[in-house]
Chains A and B, each alone.
Chain A
Amino acid sequence: GENVEQHPSTLSVQEGDSAVIKCTYSDSASNYFPWYKQELGKRPQLIIDIRSNVGEKKDQRIAVTLNKTAKHFSLHITETQPEDSAVYFCAANSGAGSYQLTFGKGTKLSVIP
């Protein structure tokens, strides 16, 4: 089955700096990679996703890159703000077209004002 590794587990940045979170996956057939943000005690919310037919996708201050050959994908947050503080989860579907998502263990991001 799919295995998703996520690093780092915790990340502290100064407000205004950039944050990068990296994930690797094991199933070369995976073709859908969403990122979720979860604030304390709240539901996970999709912030961006990418499919395997593109290498990069950007939405305002958030971008995701995908390297299919190396089987890794990364989340980039620029100009971080205190409200970006949360736990971020990467995920990969378990095989092409699969509905089942395998999640990483999460990265706790703290943005220091």
Chain B
Amino acid sequence: NAGVMQNPRHLVRRRGQEARLRCSPMKGHSHVYWYRQLPEEGLKFMVYLQKENIIDESGMPKERFSAEFPKEGPSILRIQQVVRGDSAAYFCASSQDRGGWTSGRTYEQYFGPGTRLTVT
């Protein structure tokens, strides 16, 4: 029973390059969330996706960042023209249904191991 998979685990990019982070949810999970974690900080919500739909991207910067979760394949977080301030750990999480408390049931968000992005 594989957990949430993320790759690459470490990614180094020069300023101005593009970064692509991939997330494969747990089997049977169709809800994916992306979080960013800066050093010594908590996790900050970026975007919530279901298959082929972006449900909430309120936590994602308006420019340079985009996310998708296609019908087939992993969810991808894409950062264009990276800057040093983008250096962080990016975690994705998945849940069976809407994470939190839906219809009286709790659906845990399971986290992946994260991708540590370093922009030089």
Contact = CB atoms under 8 A, between A and B. Distances in A.
Contacts of B110: 46
A44 B91 contact: yes
B65 interface: no
B89 to A, nearest CB: 9
Say what secondary structure dominates the interface of chain B: strand
Contact of B44 (A36, A43, A103): A103
A51 interface: yes
B106 A51 contact: yes
Contacts of A49: 106, 108
A105 B31 CA distance: 25
A110 interface: no
Interface string B37-59: 00011111100100000011011
Indicate the size class of the contact surface on chain B.
20 to 34
B112 interface: yes
B45 A101 contact: yes
B42 to A, nearest CB: 4
Contacts, number: 71
Interface stretch (A12-20, A78-86, A92-100): A92-100
B102 interface: yes
B118 to A, nearest CB: 14
Given A32-B106, A34-B108, A49-B106, A44 B100 contact: no
A43 B108 contact: no
Interface of B: 4, 31, 33, 35, 40-45, 48, 55-56, 58-59, 91, 95, 98-102, 106, 108-114
22 contacts: A31-B101, A32-B101, A34-B108, A36-B111, A43-B4, A43-B111, A43-B114, A44-B111, A45-B111, A46-B110, A51-B101, A89-B43, A93-B101, A96-B101, A98-B100, A100-B100, A101-B99, A101-B109, A102-B45, A103-B35, A104-B42, A106-B41
Interface of A: 4, 6, 31-32, 34, 36, 42-46, 49, 51, 89, 91, 93, 96-106
